[in-house]
Amino acid sequence: MFVLEHLWIIPLLPLLGAAANGLFGRAWPRKTVNGIALGATGLAFLATAELAREFARLDPAQIPWTRSYFTWIMAGNFRADYALQVDALTLVMLGVVTGVGWLIHLYSTGYMADDGGYRRFFAYLNLFMFFMLTLVLAANYVVLFVGWEGVGLSSYLLIGFWFLKKPATDAGNKAFWVNRIGDFGFLLGLFVLFRQFGSLDFSAVFSGAAAMPVESAGAGVLTAAALLLLAGATGKSAQIPLYVWLPDAMEGPTPVSALIHAATMVAAGVYVVARSHVLFLHAPMAMTAVAVIGCLTALLAATIALVQTDIKKVLAYSTISQLGYMFLGCGVGAFASGIFHLMTHAFFKGLLFLGAGSVLHALGGEQDLRRMGGLRRVIPWTYGTMLLASLAIAGAPGFSGFFSKDEILLAARSGPHANLVLYTLGVLTAGLTSFYTFRLLFLVFHGAPRYDESQTQVHESPRSMLVPLVVLAALSLAGGWWAAPQLVGGRNYFESYLAPVFVAPAATEIAEGESAVRTPGLIGALLSAPVVAGLAGFLVAFWLYVKRTDLPGRVAKSLPVPHRWLAGKYFVDELYGAAIVRPLLWLSTNVLWHRVDERAIDAAVNGLGRGAARSGDSLRRLNSGNTRTYAAWVVVGAVLLTTVLMWMAP
């Protein structure tokens, strides 16, 4: 029971690693830096494994297991402890974060081997791990918010890791600002919750919310709180309308994109929605908002991904799209499926990013899909693993993405919050996903080489990079089988593992939903639609990018308007720039800066200073240095004083 009693060990390990490397590592050789960074994360992973073992022996009555270590804030009737909590959901998140995180640390030792900022990079990565683990282990919203902001900070630091590159620092700033908007909503949500329940502990909030009636007709406190939390989640998880920072975040090193902007941090929003599911289930309007936002984001991002030419941008939009799926899953009440997709997505999208990094590594940093091609034979390991990941994300039967994505779509079709429109759009998105994924794969690995073969020494990546690829490929392949038995009418192990977390507050609803779902024939029919869509996407991609490579250009030419809109990413950045950034900048520059600041605040301060100087200058003349003048003043003073005293005397 050691780890259960000392939960703080898990986040503390990476923090120590970050502190050691960040503060003292300047003169250390790479081996030491490696050892500390990988060791800290690896130990956190082992601690998580031990935690899972101990957790399995707990009495169900003790779950969620909460431990409070010290009182952090005490003000009036507000009290926030540094308290950590474990339940099945936390364990799944811990496993993903530490497991995938460790693999990406390992990968980074190869990928960043020639980078001057080696030590700084690993210090930041470990810092990120610390905040992410704090986020998922938190037992109240305050500690969660610490992790929430902390991962935002680490994300900012790592996007702008190559700080001499202007686009990188710009992207870091953009990510930070856009997230601030969401975080503001999140914070307001916390205020609403505190006002309503007088506490921000998960247990108090959720039991309080569970006791309140479902706000089915119109909006109430819970709806407001849930929508505000959702605003925070759309920022962190890159959903409409705050998704614009994620594609730019690709300026960071590729392992960062894999770890933070695909596998873990961007999933934090999904985690928060799932964690706060009681609130959402009691606020149907917020549930609908989650589902609609998720579905629209999935579709929109998938369409943008169709025409991007930067390998990492394609993957970034793909990530946004898949996160949309997770939101859709949560929004239709299938929280377990949303989290399941989060996990499988961490495997295959992490793998896709790492594979893309391996391609970049092989081509000396080339990111443009139009200057790749034919790499299949040159870097076979990268190709093989990326092929598996592509099959997984496209939802090929048997791969992990198949189970998780189709479960979400199944819930959208026949779950307790089913909606046929959302389902149809989800299936459409599945087709698009398959298309853009295989477009990427074919453009990179098939056909004739389009890069300059005489200039580039294409080479397979070192073993430290290939091992994570292979492990993640195995997980992408097998990770879905946890939930597989449902297909044949059996138990969905993943869902039953998470059942204690999600069932309790809405037992009736989910039970009803499941009874409808559990018919094998129905499942077979419903599963086929996304599979068929995925197959169609694959075939179209194969036709366009392997068989008739002249076609894509002609299609783009014959449809100039849609192509321009897609290539321009629907001009959302431009719209935000014109509607929000430019007016804000104008207001700040012309009103707040030149008027309020310069003419009011500065003028007041300068005026006070000048007034003091001037009065001092005139008073200075009294100090003539002439003794007899002083004496005269003394006399005047004495006379005045005497007069006053005589006046005051009775």
Q: How far is the CB of 629 from other proteins (least distance, A)?
A: 8
Q: How far is the CB of 635 from other proteins (least distance, A)?
A: 6
The residue among 516 and 635 lying less far from other proteins, judged by its C-beta, is: 635
Kind and range of the H or E run holding 80: strand 78-86
Q: How far is the CB of 648 from other proteins (least distance, A)?
A: 20
Handedness of CA 334, 339, 342, 346 (dihedral sign): negative
Are the CB atoms for 341 and 325 separated by under 8 Å?
yes
Mark 430-469 with x for binding to other proteins (rule: CB under 8 A) and - for no binding. ----------------------------------------
The residue among 61 and 613 lying less far from other proteins, judged by its C-beta, is: 613
Q: What are the phi and psi torsion angles at 205 (to 5°)? A: -65, -45
88: tokens are 């099945």
The residue among 57 and 628 lying less far from other proteins, judged by its C-beta, is: 628
Q: Please enumerate in sequence order all residues whose Cβ is within 8 A of that of 430, keeping only pairs 6 or more positions apart, or say none.
A: 394, 395, 405, 409, 530, 533, 534, 537
Query: Looking at residue 541, what DSSP letter applies?
Result: H
Q: Give strand pairing partners of 121.
A: none
Q: How far is the CB of 623 from other proteins (least distance, A)?
A: 8
Residue for token pair 């059996």: 490
**Which is nearest to 119 in space by CA: 152, 159, 161?**
161
Handedness of CA 214, 330, 191, 245 (dihedral sign): negative
**Rule CB under 8 A: which of 156-175 touch other proteins?**
none
Q: How far is the CB of 637 from other proteins (least distance, A)?
A: 12
Q: How far is the CB of 647 from other proteins (least distance, A)?
A: 19
Q: Please enumerate in sequence order all residues whose Cβ is within 8 A of that of 379, keeping only pairs 6 or more positions apart, or say none.
A: 358, 359, 362, 458, 459, 460, 461
**Rule CB under 8 A: which of 593-632 touch other proteins?**
623-628, 631-632
Are the CB atoms for 229 and 289 separated by under 8 Å?
no
The residue among 77 and 627 lying less far from other proteins, judged by its C-beta, is: 627
The residue among 557 and 628 lying less far from other proteins, judged by its C-beta, is: 628
The residue among 589 and 629 lying less far from other proteins, judged by its C-beta, is: 629
The residue among 579 and 631 lying less far from other proteins, judged by its C-beta, is: 631
Are the CB atoms for 308 and 314 separated by under 8 Å?
yes
**Which is nearest to 268 in space by CA: 157, 134, 139?**
134
Query: Looking at residue 518, what DSSP letter applies?
Result: T
Are the CB atoms for 89 and 501 separated by under 8 Å?
yes
The residue among 26 and 620 lying less far from other proteins, judged by its C-beta, is: 620
Q: How far is the CB of 643 from other proteins (least distance, A)?
A: 14
The residue among 601 and 638 lying less far from other proteins, judged by its C-beta, is: 638
The residue among 559 and 635 lying less far from other proteins, judged by its C-beta, is: 635
Q: How far is the CB of 624 from other proteins (least distance, A)?
A: 7
Residue for token pair 């680490």: 154
Q: How far is the CB of 616 from other proteins (least distance, A)?
A: 13
Burial of 425 (0-12, 13-18, 19+ CB in 10 A): buried
Mark 270-299 with x for binding to other proteins (rule: CB under 8 A) and - for no binding. ------------------------------
45: tokens are 């992973």
Q: How far is the CB of 631 from other proteins (least distance, A)?
A: 5
The residue among 455 and 626 lying less far from other proteins, judged by its C-beta, is: 626
The residue among 31 and 628 lying less far from other proteins, judged by its C-beta, is: 628
Return d(Cα 271, Cα 266) in angstroms, integer: 9
Interface with other proteins (CB under 8 A), residue total 9
Q: How far is the CB of 625 from other proteins (least distance, A)?
A: 3
Select from 635, 640, 641, 644 the one that contacts other proteins (CB under 8 A): 635
The residue among 216 and 624 lying less far from other proteins, judged by its C-beta, is: 624
Count Cβ neighbours within 10 Å for each residue of 206-220 and write b for 16 or more, e otherwise.
Answer: bebbeebeebeeeeb
**CA–CA distances in Å: residue 105 to residues 17, 39, 162, 511, 579:** 12, 10, 18, 41, 40
Q: How far is the CB of 606 from other proteins (least distance, A)?
A: 26
Q: How far is the CB of 641 from other proteins (least distance, A)?
A: 15
Are the CB atoms for 215 and 222 separated by under 8 Å?
yes
Q: Give strand pairing partners of 74.
A: 79
**Rule CB under 8 A: which of 350-369 touch other proteins?**
none
Q: What residue ranges bind other proteins (CB under 8 A)? A: 623-628, 631-632, 635
